[in-house]
């Protein structure tokens, strides 16, 4: 296989070397492991869209697709974003949890991925990464919480799920898309080596996913629910959930239930479950 070369252009930067696809495959695609293939492309519209297409054609579980640059990256609610080439880790993985994991528990996959990514980044970058329910990765820059990454999970047919992850690694202050964004570099990471970071994240995801699947997707039995609660910056805070139909709900985020929904307690003491499918976004109330 010919390794991709990132073309020169307005995003070209000698301080951002390309990923070493051969070394990544040697370290991650191993007998008995979850990852069965790993491809790195110079640029694509969306790794999630590409991998969903592969899944519908019967691609095996464990396929990993990494892009040096995404030109039409997607977040929740089909929000679009882009970043300079080689400034982050942008990848998707194909999972097939199988019949032992009930469909109702697939809603935990974004939260599971968040825990795995935060764990991997803490180990490899030395950066404390908090989780904002349901799928944002937060770092602290100049004493403020900033979004440095996100997760998008999509069904692909009856038995496949594609999980996409995007993390800003070396984005500089003048490259941030919005003032509330951040990056590992701006959070004083001890390493912004993307090969090291990607290996750490994928190994963490493999371990966490294996434990969850072995437990039949049970978030308590697998330890996932406890781990998510420990790393979730949303819990214990007053937040405002903006819902479809121009409705909003303000309350204290007190728990994540067995289905992965955020439980808000409003001023009258009533508890309201907020599902990922119903929430536009959750942010600190002002």
Q: Domain end: 230, 256, 271, which one?
A: 230
The pLDDT value recorded for residue 247 is: 80
In whole numbers, what is the pLDDT of the chain averaged over residues?
Answer: 89
Task: Please report whether residue 9 resides in a domain.
Answer: no
Q: What is the pLDDT of residues 10-62, one digit of tens each?
A: 445 678 999 999 999 999 999 999 999 999 999 999 999 999 999 999 999 99
Q: What is the pLDDT of residues 70-106, one digit of tens each?
A: 987 555 545 555 689 999 999 999 999 999 999 999 9
251 lies in a domain? Answer: yes
Asked if 126 and 184 sit in the same domain, the reply is yes
Helices and strands, counts by H and E, the chain: 5, 14
Residues found in the chain: 286
Both 213 and 265 in one domain: the answer is: no
Residue 153 has pLDDT above 80, yes or no: yes
| Same domain for 267 and 192 | no
pLDDT digits (tens, 9 = 90+) for 167-189: 999 999 999 989 989 999 999 99
DSSP 3-state assignment of 244? coil
Of the candidates 102, 38, 52, 48, the one whose C-alpha atom is nearest the C-alpha of residue 73 is 48
Full-model pTM:
0.90
Q: What is the structure's pLDDT at 157?
A: 86
* Type and span of the H or E element at 163: strand 160-168
- 8 A C-beta contact, residue 29 and residue 35: yes
What whole-number distance in Å separates Cα of residue 81 and Cα of residue 75?
8
Task: Indicate whether 7 belongs to any domain.
Answer: no
Tell me which DSSP letter residue 241 carries: E
| Domain harbouring 259, CATH code | 2.30.30.100
Residue 281 reports pLDDT greater than 50: no
Residues 220 and 122 in one domain: yes
Judge contact between 138 and 227, C-beta under 8 A: no
54 with 169, same domain: the answer is: yes
Q: At what angle do helices 109-125 and 224-231 cross, to 10 degrees?
A: 60
* Domain endpoint, select from 230, 245, 273: 230
Q: Which of 34, 65, 30, 37 lies closest to 214, judged by CA?
A: 34
CATH number at residue 154: 3.30.930.10
- Counting residues of the chain whose pLDDT is more than 90, the rounded percentage is 77
Region 149-158 average pLDDT: 93
**Inside any domain, residue 11:** no
CA 184, CA 166: separation in Å to the nearest integer? 12
How many domains does the chain contain in total?
2
Give the per-residue pLDDT at 230: 97
pLDDT of residue 276: 55
Contacts for 141 with CB less than 8 Å, ≥ 6 apart: 182, 183, 186, 187
Are residues 245 and 212 both part of a single domain? no
Mean pLDDT of 196-207: 98
Give the residue-averaged pLDDT of 253-267: 94
81 and 195: one domain?
yes
- Quick one: 164 and 245 in the same domain? no
Residue 45: inside a domain: yes
Regarding whether 239 and 208 lie in a shared domain, the answer is: no
Range of the domain at 115: 21-230
Give, in order, the Cα–Cα distances in Å from 268 to each of 106, 121, 179, 275, 285. Answer: 32, 39, 35, 20, 17
- Please indicate, yes or no, whether residues 219 and 242 belong to a single structural domain of this protein: no
* Exposed / middle / buried, residue 125 (Cβ in 10 Å: 0-12, 13-18, 19+): buried
Choose one of 209, 230, 251: the last residue of a domain.
Answer: 230
Report d(CA 67, CA 95) in Å as an integer: 18
Instruction: Please give the pLDDT value at position 275.
Output: 81
User: Are 60 and 149 in the same domain?
Assistant: yes
Is the same domain home to 151 and 275? Answer: no
- In angstroms, the Cα distances linking 201 to 74, 78, 146, 241 are 20, 24, 20, 29
Of residues 120, 68, 114, the one with CA closest to residue 89:
68
Task: Kindly state whether residue 254 falls inside one of the protein's structural domains.
Answer: yes
pLDDT band at 130 (very low <50, low <70, confident <90, very high): very high
Angle between helices 224-231 and 194-214 (to 10 degrees): 140
> Which 3 state secondary structure label does DSSP give 231?
helix
Crossing angle of helices 194-214 and 109-125, in 10° steps, is 140
277, 106 contact by CB (below 8 A): no
């Amino acid at each position: 296989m010919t390794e991709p070369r990132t073309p020169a252009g307005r995003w070209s930067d000698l301080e951002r070397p390309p990923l070493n696809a051969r070394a990544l495959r040697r370290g991650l695609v191993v007998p008995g492991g979850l990852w069965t293939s790993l491809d790195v492309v110079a640029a694509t519209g969306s790794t999630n869209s590409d991998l969903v297409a592969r899944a519908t054609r019967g691609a095996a579980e464990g396929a990993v697709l990494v892009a040096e640059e995404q030109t039409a990256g997607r977040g929740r609610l089909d929000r679009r974003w882009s970043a300079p080439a080689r400034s982050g880790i942008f990848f998707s993985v194909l999972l097939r949890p199988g019949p032992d994991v009930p469909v109702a528990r697939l809603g935990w996959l974004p939260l599971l991925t968040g825990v795995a990514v935060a764990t991997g980044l803490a180990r490899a970058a030395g950066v404390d990464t908090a989780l904002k329910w349901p799928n944002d990765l937060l770092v602290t820059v100049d004493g403020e919480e900033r979004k440095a990454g996100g997760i998008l999970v999509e069904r692909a047919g009856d038995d496949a799920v594609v999980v996409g992850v995007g993390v800003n690694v070396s984005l500089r202050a003048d490259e941030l898309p919005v003032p509330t964004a951040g990056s590992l570099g701006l959070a004083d990471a001890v390493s912004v080596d993307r090969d090291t970071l990607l290996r750490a994240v994928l190994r963490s995801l493999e371990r966490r996913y294996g434990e969850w699947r072995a437990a039949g997707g049970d978030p308590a039995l697998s330890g996932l629910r406890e781990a998510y609660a420990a790393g979730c910056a949303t819990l214990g805070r007053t937040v405002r959930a903006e819902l479809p139909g121009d409705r909003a709900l303000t309350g204290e985020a007190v728990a994540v239930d067995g289905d992965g929904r955020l439980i808000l307690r409003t001023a009258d003491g009533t508890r309201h479950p907020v599902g990922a499918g119903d929430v536009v976004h959750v942010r600190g109330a002002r």
